[in-house]
Structure 1
């Protein structure tokens, strides 16, 4: 992120800068509001302001402290917006930005904000929807308010931002549940494929048909065979005793 400014080539015309970026990490786009406070009310002057690196999109509007639209021109190559002011103490520029962050994992993002060009008081606030664990190097103020993560940068420097979402207990339970139930679902046959309609009686297995055939034979045949078998066993035992 790089901002610089001059007024007709005169240094120290800017008292302070305040930048607020409302950013959507999923689509990697956001809306930026840049407030420039001048050291004095300039009359018939042009203020040049270099916007965020090469990620500037649509410039929505440029107004003074009273909401009056200010004429401007924009150099896309140099990323410098030149604003004509007349009796103005404050300039507000609203524009779109993109590509501030790179996705480095599932719900994890990293970005670099370059404020090394600033030797004036400044405040850059990046507001991200959602609660993220955040590490900023060098250290900066990080707040989580109303399901938003706010990162406030207030010093000159090169900042590295890393944001990620911690897994919730519900997400962990769903992951474990899917791991447990998935194998069963893969190997268990579908019930409707194996059930027989109630009105249709299944054919008896071959073993049952053989059993019914056996019980149709005259009972006395089995009794005779059983008696002869017992007599044979007794005769064999008596022969061994002799």
Structure 2
């Protein structure tokens, strides 16, 4: 999930961009600003990850480049993408260190590729900051939480599963439940799953379920109580 703000004074363009984002990244929260004043108010009250800034803002005395400088100074973590119908601003805009510069009319393929690359970059930055450090005997693992599909308690062992790799850990399942939180849900006394990685749930017995994951042949198991827990997060 990402919070994205669109600063654009043209109603048609702002709705076009919003529709494009909603169709391709439904988990995004979209904030719409038609003036610099409203843009600043949104930034003051919300955590924004991506800013799409139109450079030419008709009625405002300042333009999108000024907004970019303001954003870069006071909100340096926000990734800026400039949108404009005029390429003469390109060289000037790069002094603000934008992530990209997209010309209008917007090429949908180019736009989608830019956002996807940016999301990958944000995920990598997050991964670096949130590395899970696991020690096991004479080995130390540095694991990105978003790469974990589930964690399993098997006898005395705790096993961390990625799509293909697995790692032994000495910590308890409850430790990982408390440490990771967020996307990780306890679906069984022996399984903690990453809800963002779930592909399919299949009932295999009397209120016993099998969970399949994206890009992996591994499966986890879920109890009746776990199923009720999972329903709190998904509308089924």
What TM-score comes out, normalization by structure 2 length?
A: 0.23
Larger radius of gyration between Structure 1 and Structure 2: 1
Larger helix proportion of the pair:
2
More strand by share: 1
TM-score, normalization: structure 1? 0.23
Q: Which has the higher contact order (CA 8 A, sep 6+)?
A: 1
